[in-house]
């Protein structure tokens, strides 16, 4: 039976953030009869404005909650008769994990995942997808053509990635020990609408919109494997249906680009000169290259709609979205007082 015809309720942890919001939009359009419960702590990165259009949708519910709050998670799962869980909830900004301290990262990204696993163990959950990152694999050499496979050993270098790896290891342990039906995904760097402008692509766009130069760490040659967020959410929908419990799936669209190349493309799209690039001191321990082998998920029938040759198109659409939604970021700035010092520094950065 197709997932469309089943009376299922999905709990989306972290559904007010960038990828979670895109996932909820996609799912609510594709499966309008399916109930979606968005469970989010609403940190600085969570934004309910992303779901304005769902406010009157009888199949959409929002609960403000922390994934480390076992009691509230359990209560929510029982109240809404949750059948599936997908977890996006995490502290996600690498620079904050370096300069702002790693404690919150360990709490949400490791302990939070373990709490979800405990509730999955106690309740009749059919599937739990824990959304993780390729950063858990560590760094590849710039000169090699090696790719991360699902068998690549986990060797994180950044506190953010180490905390995510902690969550992944818990998933593996709960599958092996308690037979919890969990899947872990390792996706590459996402871009697209609703991304908080502390992350590279929207950060560059907003710098340029404000007439400022784009700062490039080090020599600018660090490589990331960029994926359009809509391709990521389609892959997650597929894994909720066809993914096998206990397995890890890499998600990437074969789009390796260095930061300088990305900056130059954005400059071209925004009709700015390359003298708007400024080189700044490198990030400590900056991973050199990430690149995904996506053979396993491709074999399930997933295919990116924005592969490498469509990166410039995806970037242009992203720039256009931010141009059309300037008020979205203006509203984020209004939340400034709720943000911690690190975030204020971001908005005030010269
Ligand atoms: N953005 C990327 O490029 C990327 C790539 C691969 C994997 N991921 C993973 O995807 C997930 C989503 O990333 P994103 O970029 O959308 O993040 P984001 O920072 O935009 O959103 C995170 C959301 O989680 C919520 N949250 C944080 N801690 C929470 C807690 N303890 N309890 C409940 N809610 C909490 C926040 O309020 C926010 O809404 C993360 O787990 C991240 O590690 C992201």
Q: Rounded to the nearest whole angstrom, what is the distance from the C-alpha of residue 129 to the centroid of ligand 1?
A: 14
Q: Dump the DSSP string for 14-75.
A: TTTSHHHHHHHHHHHHH-TTSEEEEEE---TT--GGGGGGGTT-TTEEEEE--TT-HHHHHH
Q: Is residue 95 part of a domain?
A: yes
Q: Is residue 122 part of a domain?
A: yes
Which of the residues are catalytic?
Answer: 134-135, 160
Q: Is residue 280 part of a domain?
A: no
Cα 35 from Cα 65, distance rounded (Å): 18
Residues 6+ apart with CB under 8 A from 101: none
- Give the ranges where the chain is alpha helix by DSSP (H): 18-30, 70-79, 94-99, 103-106, 112-122, 159-178, 200-209, 229-242, 259-269, 295-298, 311-324, 326-334, 341-348
Closest listed residue to residue 61, CA positions, set 22, 18, 24: 24
- Find the CATH number of the domain harbouring 169: 3.40.50.720
Of the residues 43, 90, 102, which should be mutated to test ligand 1's pocket, given the most ligand atoms within 8 Å of the CB? 90
Q: Is residue 281 part of a domain?
A: no
Q: Rounded to the nearest whole angstrom, what is the distance from the C-alpha of residue 93 to the centroid of ligand 1?
A: 9
Residues 6+ apart with CB under 8 A from 84: 8, 9, 10, 11, 125, 126, 127, 128, 129, 240
Q: Rounded to the nearest whole angstrom, what is the distance from the C-alpha of residue 88 to the centroid of ligand 1?
A: 5
Ligand 1 atom with the smallest distance to the CA of 196 is 20
Protein residue with least CA distance to atom 21, ligand 1: 17
What is the tens place of the pLDDT at every residue in 117-169? 999 999 999 999 999 999 999 999 999 999 999 999 999 999 999 999 999 99
Protein residue with least CA distance to atom 41, ligand 1: 88
Reading the chain (350 residues) residue by residue, the pLDDT tens digits are 344 444 689 999 999 999 999 999 999 999 999 999 999 999 999 999 999 999 999 999 999 999 999 999 999 999 999 999 999 999 999 888 988 899 999 999 999 999 999 999 999 999 999 999 999 999 999 999 999 999 999 999 999 999 999 999 999 999 999 999 999 999 999 999 999 988 999 999 999 998 999 999 999 999 999 999 999 999 999 999 999 999 999 999 999 999 999 999 999 999 999 999 999 999 898 999 999 999 999 999 999 999 999 999 999 999 999 999 988 877 876 665 555 555 555 555 43
Name the residue range of residue 71's domain: 3-194+227-254+288-306
Q: Rounded to the nearest whole angstrom, what is the distance from the C-alpha of residue 109 to the centroid of ligand 1?
A: 9
Residues with CB under 6 A from ligand 1: 13-14, 16-20, 40-43, 45-46, 66-68, 88-92, 108, 112, 131, 133, 164, 187, 189-190, 196
Q: Is residue 25 part of a domain?
A: yes
Ligand 1 atom with the smallest distance to the CA of 21 is 16
Ligand 1 atom with the smallest distance to the CA of 44 is 37
Q: Is residue 342 part of a domain?
A: no
Give pLDDT, residue 344.
54
Its pTM stands at 0.95
Name the domain count of the chain.
Answer: 1
Tokens in use for 274? 């390359």
Q: Is residue 339 part of a domain?
A: no
The residue whose two tokens read 């997908």 is 86
Q: Rounded to the nearest whole angstrom, what is the distance from the C-alpha of residue 341 to the centroid of ligand 1?
A: 20
Q: Rounded to the nearest whole angstrom, what is the distance from the C-alpha of residue 133 to the centroid of ligand 1?
A: 10
Cα 39 from Cα 43, distance rounded (Å): 12
Q: Is residue 345 part of a domain?
A: no
Cα 14 from Cα 215, distance rounded (Å): 29
Ligand 1 atom with the smallest distance to the CA of 67 is 32
Protein residue with least CA distance to atom 36, ligand 1: 46
């Amino acid at each position: 039976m197709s997932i469309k015809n089943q009376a299922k309720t999905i709990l989306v942890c972290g559904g007010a953030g960038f990828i979670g919001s895109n996932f909820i939009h996609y799912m609510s359009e594709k499966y309008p009869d399916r109930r979606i419960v968005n469970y989010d702590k609403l940190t600085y990165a969570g934004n309910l404005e992303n779901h304005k259009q769902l406010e009157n949708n009888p199949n959409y519910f929002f609960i403000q909650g922390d994934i480390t709050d076992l009691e509230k998670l359990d209560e929510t799962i029982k109240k809404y008769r949750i059948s599936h869980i997908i977890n996006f909830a995490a502290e996600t900004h690498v620079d904050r994990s370096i300069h702002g301290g790693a404690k919150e990262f360990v709490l949400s990204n490791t302990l939070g995942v373990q709490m979800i696993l405990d509730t999955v163990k106690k309740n009749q959950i059919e599937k739990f997808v824990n959304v993780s990152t390729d950063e858990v694999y560590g760094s590849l050499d710039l000169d090699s053509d090696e790719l991360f496979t699902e068998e690549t050993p986990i060797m994180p270098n950044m506190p953010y990635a180490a905390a995510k790896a902690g969550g992944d290891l818990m998933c593996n342990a709960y599958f092996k020990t308690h037979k919890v039906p969990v899947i872990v995904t390792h996706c590459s760097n996402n871009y697209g609408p609703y991304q908080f402008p502390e992350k590279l692509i929207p950060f560059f766009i907003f710098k340029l919109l404000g007439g400022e130069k784009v700062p490039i760490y080090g020599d600018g040659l660090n490589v990331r494997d960029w994926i359009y967020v809509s391709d990521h959410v389609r892959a997650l929908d597929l894994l909720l249906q066809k993914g096998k419990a206990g397995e890890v799936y890499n998600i990437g669209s074969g789009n390796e680009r260095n930061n300088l190349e990305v900056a130059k493309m954005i400059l071209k799209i925004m009709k700015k000169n390359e003298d708007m690039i400024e080189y700044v001191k490198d990030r400590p321990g900056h991973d050199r290259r990430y690149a995904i082998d996506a053979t396993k998920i491709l074999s399930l029938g997933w295919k990116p709609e924005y592969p490498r040759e469509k990166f410039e198109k995806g970037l242009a659409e992203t720039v256009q979205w931010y141009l059309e939604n300037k008020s979205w970021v203006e509203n984020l700035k209004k939340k400034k007082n709720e943000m911690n010092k690190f975030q204020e520094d971001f908005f005030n950065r010269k």
